[in-house]
A and B are shown apart, each in its own frame.
Chain A
Amino acid sequence: MRRYSVFAIAREALRYHSGWERAWASPTPKASYDAIIIGAGGHGLATAYYLGKNHGITNVAVIEKGWLGGGNTGRNTTIIRSNYLQDPSAAIYEKARSLYETMSQDLNYNVMFSPRGVIMLAQTHHEVRGYLRTAHANALQGVETQFINAAKVKELVPIINIDGPRYPVLGGLWQPRGGTARHDAVAWGYARACSDMGMDIIQQCEVKGVRSEGGKVVGVETTKGYIGTKKLGIVVAGHSGQVADMAGFRLPVEAVALQALVSEPIKPCMDVVVMANTVHGYMSQSDKGEMVIGGGTDGFNNYTQRGSFHHIEETLRALVETFPMISRLKMLRQWGGIVDMTGDRSPLISKTPLGNCFINCGWGTGGFKAIPGSGWAMAELMAKGEPGPLAAAFSLDRFKEGRFIDESVAAGVAH
């Protein structure tokens, strides 16, 4: 693989960039692999990458129904944070966040991780207590956060209205090393690195069935024919239920629409990410200058990638109240994604009832921030057949036991 650098660009500029190679190959599938991952989103590609990098397994195919990175990886609001309350969540999100810090160098692909800081606003006394609890938990989890007062919030976010008549800002939970990244680049960077390791990323290839023998998976039927595998990872977010159905088991998951929008680009006016749970909205400014805005999910099963507009209105009125200056900006584009919500709104990285078949799903509204940690933990699970410490708590059997990983106390808006 030719490395990317400013020198490479200079060299190519002289010949009108005619010498750039393909970022990833477009192979036809082999008859069989050591491992197949269904889903070439961020989580699937990261799983493949760490299978190769951490476990030396490179005879891997990543099978994608559409185009790589085309699902929720490419349609989220790119927030990265790890200020979670519960230990298992904090562990995997903090692992992910720390991997994001070095991802550009690791992948030789600039994913534009921007550790600009994330504030979660406290606008009721109850929220203040909730975030103080998170701050105490984070202090023991090795997650750097602090509870800051309203004046400090205003200093970090001058455009915020901290004296709103309804929900004055009382403070906030500040994670200075949280931030954002360029979402597409994460998928592309992983894809390029996987391809470079000799893995096959097979796009436009839909899985139509899962074949098993003696309770163990042996391969998948696809629109490009049957492909054998020793291990199978299902990493398909909103469509997990469909693929699990092919593999013969049911998941504690519902697919619902989550919406987001961007404004037209304006000059820089906000340097950090702000999440306002009481009024349900969150906002950051992209490097292009767009205000990137997200809100809550619809409450009904939906596979259309379209949500109901009243949720957008609810989010916008909340944000106009919090950031009055956005009133005269314009909404440029709104869209939806299909997210898979589990019974406790925390993910699954788990063995399944089918042998050698593993599932990674249920990231709900917050999967982007987890991508590298999720891939790291899933790769370990697939390589060893048993979960490592990062994945252990996220098993399917927790629902039977009632062993929830419930973050709702810390994050009303679970993004």
Chain B
Amino acid sequence: MSTRLQKGGRLIDRSTRAEFTFNGRRLIGHAGDTLASALLANDQMLVGRSFKYHRPRGIVAAGPEEPNALVNLGRADRLEPNQRATTTELYAGLEAASQNHWPSLDFDIGVVNNYLARFLPAGFYYKTFIHPRAAWKHLFEPIIRQSAGLGSAPKETDADRYEFVYAFCDVLIIGGGIAGLQAALTAGQAGKRVILLEQTAHWGGRAVVDGDTVENESAEEWVTSAVDALKTMENVTLRNRCMGAGVYDHGYVLANERLADHTPGDGRPKQRVWRIRAGHIISATGAIERPLSFAGNDIPGVMLAASVRDYVVNYAVSPGDRTVVVTNNDDAYLTAITLVEAGLSVPVVLDARAQADGPLPSRARALGIRVETGRGIASVKGGKRVTGVQICLQAGEGAVMEEIACDAVAMSGGWSPVVHLWSHCGGKLIWSETLSAFVPDSARPPLNHDGSAMVSCVGAAAGVYDPADIIAGTDSDGAATAIVPVWMMPQGAPIGLRSKMWLDYQNDVKVSDVQLAAREGYESVEHTKRYTTLGMATDQGKLSNINGLAVLSQALGAEIPQVGTTTFRPPYTPVTIGALAGEARGEIFQPLRRTPMHDWHDQNGAYWEPVGLWRRPYCYPRAGETHDQAVQREVINTREKLGLLDASTLGKIIVKGPDAGRFLDMLYTNMMSNLAVGKCRYGLMCNEQGFLSDDGVVARIDEDTWLCHTTSGGADRIHGWMEDWLQCEWWDWKVYTANVTEQYAQVAVVGPNARKLLEKIGGMDVSKEALPFMQWADGSLGGFPVRVYRISFSGELSYEIAIPASHGAAFWDMLHREGAEFGAMPYGTECLHVLRAEKGFIMIGDETDGTVTPLDLGLGWAVSKKKADFLGKRGMERTYLADPERWKLVGLETLDGSVLSDGAYAVAPGTNENGQRNTEGRVTSTYYSPTLKKGIAMGLIKNGPDRMGEVVELNKVDGGTVKARIVDAVFFDKEGEKGNA
């Protein structure tokens, strides 16, 4: 059994007990424990079920490489699936539950897959479930989906908050072991700005666990003094619990700091994501131990040798009473020694090598540990827990020589440098025969923005393991850490054994699966990965990739470097999605742009419509009113009395300079240079394709100043468009622009009573004579400084009044107060749409969609034929745009008075070559007109203007059609008397 030892545990505080639950069972751990160490201390080795076969799974590692010990952590609005027990710090009240089983961890129906394992090899699903066709969707896929997946899906909104922080440094060091600390000391002492990150809560890495000696001190002492020294340096920032997640181009690194994962609900952000821009990145990310491939290597109780050491030394937890050590290198002997020194039993060390005479094997022998060289494990015995191992010759085919009872196996297949961060941006690797591992090829590093090397690796991440070499900065020759690769145990294992050798514990990929993939032609390492799912589990192959690769290369008869690796992609370990969304949730999910009258709208029941980042009132429904009824009321009131519209979102751009007229003549399709001071003109803008992109009223302010109104969504886009041409094409033209959209609140005062209201308020002459249609004037109204434009988008008598934004709300209030006697009512965007449609005015975004020209819309009068050039002129001349057969704007009236469907198409006889029904036009805007008490619509119809009075058929989504007559698009007040009043 696994249990807590009486003594030791460098990271735990035995005086602080932490009560927690696992599958509802109340257990006790200590402060400083990880969830994994606390589970082991409570003899809970079985922690989950594998993905495919639902085999029992135990804790195998002690760090982020753990593939098995994944739990549902917490519950309700703090439920977190797939949380790694090995990196979860224990806290009082922690709730964990195991995953991927039903009804229980110990008895899982899904384990039936295990008994069928022979029928479910790699890629079996590509070869079956093909017939009958409907069965995949209705039968097979649902079953597979239920069986797959791991943790539970959260149901509630996350209770926690997250944030980002930007940081900058000359040198970013990732990994707080000896190598990282030494790199930080060197860079810090050289005066560089340094950030040092460590993913765990503790500094020192492996050396402090293994009791190494560094510069004649114990590693523990060396680390303490190094950290102390770094803390005194103002140019050095230290962060632990902070994982270097990804390296991106130009020295950008993403790091994930766990602030309150171990103190949930304490009010701090749960996590903080660091966005670091570093001059240089040093990856001191250590190495990960590899499992060995022997039959039954996935049975709970089989663990990585160094992880066993971690549990004993750091947490005083023994994974088992009797632990068999199996290895191909010297390092694992330290595990045997550590266990024996802790008073535990190591029945045998099985060393696959023919000889083992290094210092550690010698020490082990001296302690009386039985060491067998040239031996391996033929098979591990046990079901939900190891009960023993069968020993065989490594060089043989698995004939059992001896069976030894044990309850744990500590395995070591050598070490793989953690080269993820080196590789994220394209750093290349070379295969080290000495280390049997891929190491960074320092001749082919990832490149920074200036072409220099962006990342370097130190310590174990570079394949340098000896602290002396790390401190001295020398490359080790690797002799001391040389290993004999063992990719399969025993070497000649028959298929029966190979099909029980696990490579990927979580995804259930075995040696036989990789061999099958190779045999079937999935020869590329990426093919094999994808065919077998090797390395695609939540550990992203940290344990399995190299072993799988080696098996593949053997199967192909190729060398490992020729087979190559799969691509390393960020993040190094999975990162909480909420953390990557940062602060952007709820109210601050996106900026909300507010006009000065925004609060008034909100308080007066506005039903909102998002328009870009603005939100505009769609209508103001009253109690008991539907939105449609509210819109109709607003339309009628505006037509008959007085409507008030918050038009502040309209874009307002000042264009000034000696060349401003010339510039606007290029920008607009019509002439603007000849607009008289004091007057307004409607203008159109096209892109270079000749398609309409924006429209609005331009006012000439003075000799060299124009004010251009744009659509609400268009202000920033059009301002950018102007600057683009001024900066990049016509840079010698003397023109300045300024976007003053937000400087002004703008109110449209619309309706027969509009003038009455303004005259009542008083302050300037707004009579027809003093301020005729399409003119503007500065003045004051009710004591407010205003600029009044006589323009109309409704066909009504209308004043658009601009007022400094800081007076906007007060001015709006005043209009309502003073306007009450004239029937003043606010109206929203939908009423605006109906009003303009009744008048046949086009709306950018409704009549246009990026493929419509001004000529299509009958706006030829606003397209200058005199100008030699304007943006879009050449584009419009292209054959397809100049085609006389194009669909053109007309009005549409249904024969029965009904309202046409939004987006309906006009159908034409027959079908095209692809069997699609022919069409001859489409509806662009369609409304019920409360003024005319019938449906009105605008649409683009083939040769439309030449077909007045003809009836066309518009389709319905359910298959029928509606007949409509082609009419003039101006439905109301065709002579324009109301607006000119």
Q: Do chains A and B touch in the complex (CB under 8 A)?
A: yes
By a beta-carbon cutoff of 8 Å, the part of chain A in contact with chain B is 4-6, 8-10, 12-13, 16-18, 20-26, 66-67, 69-70, 74, 87-88, 90-91, 101-102, 104-105, 108-110, 112-116, 123-126, 128-137, 139-142, 146-147, 159, 161, 165-167, 182, 184-185, 188-189, 203, 263-269, 278, 285, 287-289, 304, 306, 308-309, 312-313, 316-317, 319-321, 324-335, 389-390, 392, 398, 400-404, 406, 408-409
**CB pair A22 B136 closer than 8 Å:** no
Is B915 an interface position by the 8 A CB rule? yes
B157: A residues at CB distance < 8 A:
161, 324-325, 327
A246–B272 Cα gap in the complex (Å)?
49
Is B524 an interface position by the 8 A CB rule? yes
A331–B576 Cα gap in the complex (Å)?
6
A124: B residues at CB distance < 8 A:
609-611
A359–B512 Cα gap in the complex (Å)?
42
B82: A residues at CB distance < 8 A:
264-266, 329-330
Given A5-B130, A139-B957, answer yes or no on A67-B495 (Cβ-Cβ < 8 Å).
no
Within 8 A of A (CB), among B150-182: 150-158, 160
A269–B922 Cα gap in the complex (Å)?
39
B144: A residues at CB distance < 8 A:
287
**CB pair B524 A140 closer than 8 Å:** no
- Rounded to whole Å, the gap between the CB of B515 and the closest CB of chain A is 9
* Chain B 911-935 interface 0/1 with A at a Cβ cutoff of 8 Å (1 = within): 0111111010010000000000000
- The segment from B402-410, B464-472, B766-774, B898-906 that touches chain A is B898-906
Most chain B CB atoms below 10 A, which of A114, A140, A165 = A140
Given A23-B520, A165-B587, answer yes or no on A136-B905 (Cβ-Cβ < 8 Å).
yes
A10–B145 Cα gap in the complex (Å)?
22
B587: A residues at CB distance < 8 A:
165
**CB pair A327 B845 closer than 8 Å:** no
Among B248, B512, B521, which residue has its beta carbon within 8 angstroms of that of A23?
A: B521
A22: B residues at CB distance < 8 A:
519-521
Given A105-B130, A123-B610, A325-B157, answer yes or no on A330-B577 (Cβ-Cβ < 8 Å).
yes
Within 8 A of A (CB), among B99-147: 118-119, 121, 124-131, 133, 136-137, 141, 144-146
**CB pair A87 B580 closer than 8 Å:** no
- Rounded to whole Å, the gap between the CB of A32 and the closest CB of chain B is 25
**CB pair B136 A104 closer than 8 Å:** yes
**CB pair A320 B585 closer than 8 Å:** yes
Is B383 an interface position by the 8 A CB rule? no
Q: Total number of A-B contacts with CB less than 8 angstroms? A: 334
How many residues of chain B are within 8 Å of chain A by beta carbon? Answer: 117
**CB pair A402 B880 closer than 8 Å:** yes
Within 8 A of A (CB), among B572-604: 574-578, 580-582, 584-587, 589-590, 592
* Apart from A4-B127, A125-B609, 12 more pairs, CB < 8 Å: A16-B499, A17-B516, A23-B522, A74-B530, A268-B145, A288-B533, A316-B577, A317-B582, A320-B158, A330-B577, A402-B689, A409-B851
Among A265, A288, A333, which residue has its beta carbon within 8 angstroms of that of B540?
A: A333
**CB pair B126 A306 closer than 8 Å:** no
**CB pair A70 B526 closer than 8 Å:** yes
Given A165-B587, A329-B81, A390-B914, answer yes or no on A9-B128 (Cβ-Cβ < 8 Å).
yes
Is B846 an interface position by the 8 A CB rule? yes
Is B849 an interface position by the 8 A CB rule? yes
**CB pair A288 B527 closer than 8 Å:** no
B81: A residues at CB distance < 8 A:
264, 266, 328-329
By a beta-carbon cutoff of 8 Å, the part of chain B in contact with chain A is 51, 78-82, 118-119, 121, 124-131, 133, 136-137, 141, 144-146, 148-158, 160, 246, 248-249, 252, 254, 424-426, 495-496, 499, 512, 516, 519-524, 526-527, 530-531, 533, 538, 540, 567, 569-571, 574-578, 580-582, 584-587, 589-590, 592, 609-611, 618, 689-690, 830, 845-846, 849-851, 875, 878-881, 901-905, 907, 912-917, 919, 922, 955-959
Given A4-B127, A327-B158, answer yes or no on A17-B538 (Cβ-Cβ < 8 Å).
no
Subset of 27 A-B contacts with CB under 8 Å: A5-B131, A6-B129, A17-B512, A21-B520, A87-B916, A104-B130, A109-B127, A125-B830, A136-B922, A139-B958, A159-B153, A159-B155, A167-B610, A265-B151, A267-B146, A267-B150, A267-B152, A278-B610, A289-B149, A320-B578, A325-B154, A325-B156, A325-B157, A328-B576, A390-B914, A392-B913, A402-B879
A146: B residues at CB distance < 8 A:
957
Among B148, B577, B904, which residue has its beta carbon within 8 angstroms of that of A263?
A: B577
Q: Please give me the 4 A-B residue pairs with the lowest Cβ-Cβ distance, nearest first.
A: A289-B149, A133-B903, A327-B578, A330-B574
A288–B125 Cα gap in the complex (Å)?
12
**CB pair B130 A327 closer than 8 Å:** no
Given A21-B520, A74-B530, A91-B914, answer yes or no on A331-B118 (Cβ-Cβ < 8 Å).
no
Given A13-B118, A332-B540, answer yes or no on A67-B524 (Cβ-Cβ < 8 Å).
yes
A131: B residues at CB distance < 8 A:
903
Given A105-B131, A165-B587, A401-B878, answer yes or no on A18-B495 (Cβ-Cβ < 8 Å).
yes
B522: A residues at CB distance < 8 A:
23, 188
**CB pair B609 A334 closer than 8 Å:** no
**CB pair B524 A166 closer than 8 Å:** no
**CB pair A268 B149 closer than 8 Å:** yes
Among B153, B907, B913, which residue has its beta carbon within 8 angstroms of that of A267?
A: B153
A123–B589 Cα gap in the complex (Å)?
15
B917: A residues at CB distance < 8 A:
140-141
- Rounded to whole Å, the gap between the CB of A121 and the closest CB of chain B is 13
- Rounded to whole Å, the gap between the CB of A21 and the closest CB of chain B is 7
- Rounded to whole Å, the gap between the CB of A71 and the closest CB of chain B is 11
A304: B residues at CB distance < 8 A:
249, 426
A114: B residues at CB distance < 8 A:
136-137, 141
- Rounded to whole Å, the gap between the CB of A29 and the closest CB of chain B is 17
B152: A residues at CB distance < 8 A:
266-267
A287: B residues at CB distance < 8 A:
141, 144-145, 148
A188–B913 Cα gap in the complex (Å)?
32
Among A110, A136, A263, A333, which residue has its beta carbon within 8 angstroms of that of B903?
A: A136
Chain B residue with minimal CB distance to A66? Answer: B524
Among B118, B128, B133, B531, which residue has its beta carbon within 8 angstroms of that of A105?
A: B133
Among B533, B586, B956, which residue has its beta carbon within 8 angstroms of that of A165?
A: B586
Given A123-B610, A134-B903, answer yes or no on A317-B581 (Cβ-Cβ < 8 Å).
yes
**CB pair A306 B149 closer than 8 Å:** no
- Rounded to whole Å, the gap between the CB of A56 and the closest CB of chain B is 23
**CB pair B129 A110 closer than 8 Å:** yes
**CB pair B248 A16 closer than 8 Å:** no
**CB pair A267 B151 closer than 8 Å:** yes
A66–B519 Cα gap in the complex (Å)?
19
**CB pair B154 A328 closer than 8 Å:** yes
- Rounded to whole Å, the gap between the CB of B381 and the closest CB of chain A is 22
**CB pair A309 B158 closer than 8 Å:** no
Most chain B CB atoms below 10 A, which of A24, A125, A126, A327 = A327
B907: A residues at CB distance < 8 A:
140
- Rounded to whole Å, the gap between the CB of A120 and the closest CB of chain B is 14
Most chain A CB atoms below 10 A, which of B152, B570, B830 = B570
**CB pair B878 A10 closer than 8 Å:** no
**CB pair A102 B133 closer than 8 Å:** yes
**CB pair B540 A113 closer than 8 Å:** no
Among A5, A67, A115, A182, which residue has its beta carbon within 8 angstroms of that of B137?
A: A115
Chain B residue with minimal CB distance to A86? Answer: B851
**CB pair A140 B905 closer than 8 Å:** yes
B118: A residues at CB distance < 8 A:
13, 16
**CB pair A401 B879 closer than 8 Å:** yes
**CB pair A132 B903 closer than 8 Å:** yes
B577: A residues at CB distance < 8 A:
263, 316, 319-320, 326-331
A353–B595 Cα gap in the complex (Å)?
55
A116–B142 Cα gap in the complex (Å)?
11
**CB pair B851 A16 closer than 8 Å:** no
**CB pair B915 A26 closer than 8 Å:** no
Given A23-B520, A140-B916, A289-B145, answer yes or no on A112-B155 (Cβ-Cβ < 8 Å).
no
**CB pair A17 B121 closer than 8 Å:** yes
A37–B151 Cα gap in the complex (Å)?
44
